[in-house]
Amino acid sequence: MRTRMAIWSGKMAGILSKSMGNDGTTIPGVVARKVDPLFLRHLRKTAKTIIYITGTNGKTTTANLAAHLLRFAGKKVIANLEGSNMVTGLSAALVRQTPLVGWRVNEIAVMEVDEASLPKVVSECAPDYLIVTNFFRDQLDRYGEVDLLIKKMKESLRTFDIKLILNGDDPFVHRFSSLQKENIYVGLDANACPFQSYSMAESKYCPECQNELTYTTIHYGQLGHYKCSCGFSRPEPNFSVEKVENGIQGVRLSVDGVSYPTTLKGMYNAYNALLAITMCRTLGIDSKYIQDGLVSYHKGNGRMQEFSINGVKWKLNLVKNPAGANVTLSEYMLTKEKKQFIFCLNDELADGEDISWIWDIDLEMANRSEVDIYIASGKRAYDVALRMKYAGIPSEKIMILPNLKEAVFYTKSKALPTYVMATYTCLSPLISILSRETDKLEKGDENIGTATIPLLPRYLKPVWGQRKYHMFKKTMRMAGNYASSRRNK
């Protein structure tokens, strides 16, 4: 009865939160866990096979793509596609996809899991498979150093019977091999993909003996073909990409002699696609279903998302750490066309309150003559502008527009291809703004693009006060997992 009360309470909290103008993606899980503190353990009741995807970069794309491919193959899947990946977010997904009475039985659960939250998530409900994408320095104020984070994650997995799907090209991920689980490795062949090089790099030291690793091939960051004199070296992959082609529709992968066309843009997405393909092949999904599912997948979550506004191309990508920003810049600067560049930076909790990581970005590679103007936007726009100045970008080409909508509208007036990098809390507003402008073009509606306010929130907000301080936001901040993960305690 307690569990059923948790589900009912969570559903009602989600409905009320949405009626007040919020997205309501996390609050159902927060409330459910107040009633039943170990609510996530019930995930096992609704899924026969549980898959968790974690890592620094690419876990959202990998999780969403894997869920899509499995559904395309006819599997019943439960997933947290909204991107809420802490224990409260996973609990919220379970609340939303569970009926008021009984349990909906799914064949597979595909859950994206925050790295710092993995120990708590696993302690409540261990998965059957864990996919680990990569590890880079990310939000040091929250996660701490990579070595400490990996150690905690490994310890949380030690006692469970879990199959691991590991990116063998990352020496940090390869450290999970010491757990002596059933390991499935993936990787890119030496000449599979022509990644653009950049001067900034992640640590290239052996995680076992701390001596410098020897690389015969570097794809990006510390990912590549490595070995050390102590015997630590890149494992032989079970699933290997022989060739990656960057086409108009997206990257195309050749995996063990089978061609897989995708709609994913950006060469680095080869790893995300490979991990999703490996998961499906491991579960016995036929390659034909995977191929057809890949070309039918359409992302809309700000990961190399494209828009067409007044016939001009716009491209938006999430960045949250130096490695992600560098590969984004390398993709943006591939063409020699006249273009504009926007960097939107916030310092909210979800973005990381320490924004010093922008000084580890190789922003110098963006100092190109074909870039007409550089827009610094977001709450920390002035910090971005200063970083651009130190990258050698001429002052007359830098414009500071902290308001996101103002930045988009100013750039739109110049009618040039525009490339946007944005942190988490900038992403959703930018998608909304750009989507409305795209709709305006397609529908020919002059009113599209103007802000609308839902009727209920319009009258409730004066009573409740500022949205970010109303009771639901406070409840989320008070949630045990949400608060403890902030300082990596």
Q: What is the mean pLDDT of each run of 10 residues along the chain (489 residues)?
A: 90 87 84 94 94 94 95 94 88 91 90 94 96 81 72 94 96 93 95 69 76 90 91 94 88 93 89 96 95 88 85 91 88 90 92 89 92 96 96 95 95 92 92 82 39 41 43 47 39
- Domain check: are 429 and 488 in the same one? no
Domain that includes residue 422, residue range:
305-443
Q: What is the CATH number of the domain that holds 417?
A: 3.90.190.20
- Domain check: are 325 and 400 in the same one? yes
Q: What is the largest CA-CA distance in the chain?
A: 68
pLDDT in the model for residue 101: 83
Q: Is the pTM of this model over 0.85?
A: no
Alpha-carbon 236 to chain mean position: 27
Q: How far apart are CA 111 and CA 113, in angstroms?
A: 6
- Domain check: are 334 and 428 in the same one? yes
Q: Which value, in Å, is the radius of gyration of the alpha carbons in the chain?
A: 22
pLDDT in the model for residue 331: 86
- Domain check: are 129 and 209 in the same one? no
DSSP string of 424-463? Answer: HHHHHHHHHHHHHHHHHHHH--TTBTB----HHHHHHHHH
**Known catalytic residues?**
354
Confirm whether 175 is domain-assigned. Answer: no
Q: What is the CATH number of the domain that holds 44?
A: 3.40.1190
96 token code pair: 């939303």
Confirm whether 388 is domain-assigned. Answer: yes
Confirm whether 119 is domain-assigned. Answer: yes
- Give the domain-ending residue among 298, 324, 359: 298
Exposure class string for 368-401: b at 16+ Cβ within 10 A, else e? eeebebbbbbbbbbebbbbbbeebebeeeebbeb
- Domain check: are 101 and 73 in the same one? yes
Domain count within the chain: 3
DSSP string of 311-331? Answer: TEEEEEEE--SHHHHHHHHHH
391 DSSP assignment: T
pLDDT in the model for residue 144: 54
Q: What contacts 228, CB < 8 A, 6 or more positions away? A: 206, 208, 209, 211, 213, 214
76 DSSP assignment: -
Alpha-carbon 405 to chain mean position: 23
Q: What contacts 152, CB < 8 A, 6 or more positions away? A: 116, 119
Which residue, among 35, 25, 153, 162, has the nearest Cα to 94 in the 3D structure?
A: 25
- Domain check: are 244 and 340 in the same one? no
CB 153 within 8 A of CB 306: no
- Domain check: are 38 and 117 in the same one? yes
Confirm whether 173 is domain-assigned. Answer: no
- Give the domain-ending residue among 298, 331, 360: 298
pLDDT in the model for residue 236: 95
- Domain check: are 130 and 52 in the same one? yes
- Domain check: are 292 and 309 in the same one? no
DSSP string of 2-38? Answer: HHHHHHHHHHHHHHHHHHTT---SSHHHHHHHHHSTT
pLDDT in the model for residue 203: 66
pLDDT in the model for residue 483: 41
- Domain check: are 273 and 315 in the same one? no
Confirm whether 176 is domain-assigned. Answer: no
- Domain check: are 53 and 38 in the same one? yes
- Domain check: are 245 and 267 in the same one? yes
